[in-house]
Amino acid sequence: MISRLRLFLLVAMLSCLGLLASCTPPSPSSPQPSPTLSAEEHAQHAENFVFHRDLEQAATEYQLAILADPLETAYYLRRAEILEILGRDLEARKTYTDALLDSAPNQNQSDLLHHRLILLLTLKLAEPQEAAALLPHLPEGAFLYVDASGALALARGQIALALDRFTLAQHLGRDNDEQALALYHVALAYHLLNDEKSTSVALYYAINLAENAALIRDIERLWELVSTP
């Protein structure tokens, strides 16, 4: 009788476990690229979402584009830019790092990846030591190197040195966005010095030059901070 009772309980327990397993919702999985869409088509969908201001979905579509074509560096750069706009800085960091490890960047893309990653590590994630290891990858004397070295100095609390580097970077800027970026960094330095008048002036000139959406959002965030009573 006892053996039969134990057998009954064992069967009942296994039945319950099977029932519970069948009722347990599946764990969330990573997005998978469509078998009918190319990486380029996923990227086109992403840009359509950007146009309609659905940046979360745009980031997902660019992730699908990366999965479909992991060697295309442009997808990583654009996804990381969108993630920075969304404030998802740790994901942006991973995307930049993945691009350096897994994609096939040309020299310009490699420089841009290192520059953006240095800015992210120094100005948003407070990790200057890791950023310092990346600086030698940039061409010394060029805008990206000078601007990144200023960000590194700022993260180390060397504000006067940072201002000197950003001022030089502004003169080295080859287009509106590079000049705007240097001015935004000048504003960051003045903000740390509690010089709100100089901060506001630098932000004014930066916002009137900026064209890049991620840079514009960073400028707006600092302006909101400065403007808050």
The per-residue pLDDT for range 45-66, each reduced to its tens digit, is 999 999 999 999 999 999 999 9
Q: Does domain 136-229 have CATH number 1.25.40.10?
A: yes
Residue 5 backbone phi and psi in degrees, to 5: -65, -45
CA gap 157, 185 in Å, rounded: 14
Which mean pLDDT values do the consecutive 10-residue runs of the chain (229 residues) have?
44 43 45 78 96 96 96 98 97 98 97 98 97 97 98 97 98 96 98 96 97 96 90
Locate the domains of the chain by residue range. 136-229
The per-residue pLDDT for range 63-83, each reduced to its tens digit, is 999 999 999 999 999 999 999
- pTM: predicted TM-score of the whole model, two decimal places: 0.84
Query: Which pLDDT score is estimated for 7?
Result: 43
Query: Which pLDDT score is estimated for 35?
Result: 65
CA gap 31, 63 in Å, rounded: 8
